[in-house]
Structure formats: C-alpha cells, structure tokens
A and B are shown apart, each in its own frame.
Chain A
C-alpha cells in the first residue's frame, strides 16, 4: 500500500488519463476521452484522435488533459 501511495500515480498502465494516488488520496484515474460509436457498435474517438479531459470529484473545472502516457514497460512486465 505504501508503494501505491508513493508511486501509484506513476504506475505505467494503458489509461489515457493520469491516476491521482497519494498518501492522502486513493483516487484512481481522473478522466475520460469522448468518442462516438461506429456502425459496428464499437466506440472510437471523435475525429480519430483521443482528446482527453480530466477533472476531480469536487468543484474543480473540466480541463483538456496534457497527460502523456508513459511507454509500456519492456515486454509488458512491471518495472
């Protein structure tokens, strides 16, 4: 648990939005991208590129995210 508190926010993972773990908060991912469902029924980002938004569970604003997901660790194994 101490590991998540101190490093959880930087754990590599597939999400396109950042996670918010800290010693005082166990909040997970903090946002979404918006998409449209294709004729096949699959969800795809509007305009073909992911535009992500982040916010909090309080009164904070919804902002376009500048989060750049770190590259996947080698072979998909924890680093």
Chain B
C-alpha cells in the first residue's frame, strides 16, 4: 500500500514536471491581485452617508491618515498602501453590491474593516470572500461568530466580542452593583443576542430587558423605553446598542429628568459621537464605560499621542475620537499584517 502510494506520488510529480515545462514558457505568474511593484490596494465598505453613518464616517479618513503617513515613510517594502472606500449606507444588499465592485472592478487585495454584522454576513453569503480567497481583515463588528475560522476562513475579527463585553460588564455589576435592579436596552438582532448570551454566562439577572429592532430607534421610541425602565424601578440601566440608540436614550432622559446609573456599551459609547447629536456632556457624567484601547484624551499614551498628531495634520479640525482611534489602529494592524506577509505579499501569505 505504502509503495503504491509512493509510486503514484512519483508519477504525479513527473506529470507536474511535464506540465511545468509548458507553463514555464509563459511569463511568470502576475503578482497577487491588488499588489503591484509600487502599491497595495485595499477596499472598505461602511456607511458614509445617511442616518447610520454618524461617527463611523470618520473611520476611512482615520485609516487613510495612517496609510498616508506610512506611505510617506517608505510604505510596505516600498509599496504604497491605498484604500478604496465605498458607501453602503448600512444596507446589506448594497454592501454586497459594493463589495463585488471592490473585488471585481477595483481589484483590491483585501477588504479592510467592513462594518456591521448583517452586512458582513450578507457579504460572506453572497460575495463569498472565502471562496475567492479574499482576506476580510479586521471586521468592524463584535459579533462573536466571525472569529470562527472554520466558517469564515478568510475573515478576521478585531474588536472584542459583544459576549466578552457583556461578561466583563456582568463582572463589574457583581462587584459594584450587587443587589441593585438592573435594566438592559439591547438591539434585537445578533448584536443583542451576543450580549444576552454574555450576560447569561456572567449570571446577571435583569429587572427589565428592552429590545429594539434595528432601525426603530429614535426619540419617540426612547420615551417608551424610559417608561419601561421606570416601571421596573431600574437602578442601573445598560445601553447595549448603537450610537443613535444611546443618543436618543440619553437625550430623551435628560429632557424627562430621568437619571439612573448609566452603563454604556462600547459600540454606542463614543462621547464625541453622542455629543454631536446634541446630548449635553453632563448627562454622561459618571456613566460607566468600556474600551479596549486607551482613552482618546490620554496624551500620555504613546499611540494616542502619535495617532492624534497624524490625524490632526491629515484631517484638521476633526475631533480625535474612538472611531478615529480604532480606525487608525486597524490600519496600523493591517500594515503589520502586510509587512509580516513577506517581501511579495499575497492574499494567502
């Protein structure tokens, strides 16, 4: 059996050698898609316009600011990194169409930081980057499923998962708010189901849970949420939703004089974005928040200082917030992945 196998192997090699002869007559295979002698092209889809774009539309500018700095300092082994950005307005079918354009027309090497669980899943299903061998680097969603290398072999998570965040919140509640009545506002989709799973693991018992369907959030809805939290006499209210939900809730609560102990999930917890919607800064005071990266105002941190200096020069007048920091950090990690991929990076390497 073993001998037979070896013989098969030998002949197969012989065939390959024969075939190889013919192939070698053709000029060497072109470099990887999206990679030339002078450049590397990456593509990004995210909401740049429309109601869902608030805050997120600063991410491409942040990533480009870092890539521009990188390119001015030699790029990746001499190759300049360019980023093609397409607006999907947070609509899954549009994300599919725009991602197809990035892969087929713009011929990008990899997708960088596509945003939104539904959109990334729609792209995984209908564009199928895995089948095409296209890397999806550092998706901008904390949905735990995208870390599954078997199901999404070319997709890489970067944000800590919503489950992790909920578990850490749960730990904090146990240590600091034991015996208090806890309320939870969450998005009624995979984002929220991840959160519920995390809180369950952490053993948090809620006095009240209020789901909202994605897209239904607004001031009118927030008034209804507050009624529910008040009725349940919640002491601590966790806002585990997107920025527009957090803002609607905090803005409406300020108007109604409703002041529980707030706890904000990182997705909807960027202060700059919340304040942009007209929520007074004071409303946020003493709320509990969570972040994987340093505080955006912490200029003693070498990264924050470095990134904010680059950003201030590249996009003058734009506030350095969590979206910017995460956008630049993602670009920074992508640069390292490209550098680590060797002198002639390929999708596979």
Contacts and interface: CB of A to CB of B under 8 A. Distances in A.
Interface of A: 1-4, 7-8, 11-17, 19-21, 23-45, 50, 53-59, 62, 71-72, 75-79
Contacts of B306: 72, 76
B122 to A, nearest CB: 19
28 contacts: A2-B349, A3-B341, A3-B345, A3-B349, A4-B337, A4-B340, A11-B340, A13-B336, A23-B149, A24-B149, A26-B152, A26-B156, A28-B147, A31-B168, A31-B292, A32-B168, A33-B290, A35-B290, A37-B289, A38-B285, A39-B285, A40-B271, A41-B275, A54-B164, A57-B161, A76-B307, A77-B73, A78-B340
Interface in B194-211: 194, 198, 201-202
Contacts of B335: 77-78
Nearest to B160: A29
Task: For chain B, give the interface size range.
Answer: 35 or more
A79 B161 contact: no
Interface string B67-95: 00110011010000000000000000000
DSSP class of A's interface residues: helix, strand, loop or mixed? loop
Nearest to B76: A78
Contact of A11 (B285, B301, B333): B333
Contacts of B160: 17, 28-32
B212 interface: no
A35 B147 contact: no
A28 to B, nearest CB: 4
B34 to A, nearest CB: 14
A41 B277 CA distance: 13
Nearest to A50: B294
Closest 7 CB pairs of A and B: A41-B281, A14-B303, A3-B340, A27-B147, A28-B158, A78-B339, A28-B157
Contacts of B341: 2-3
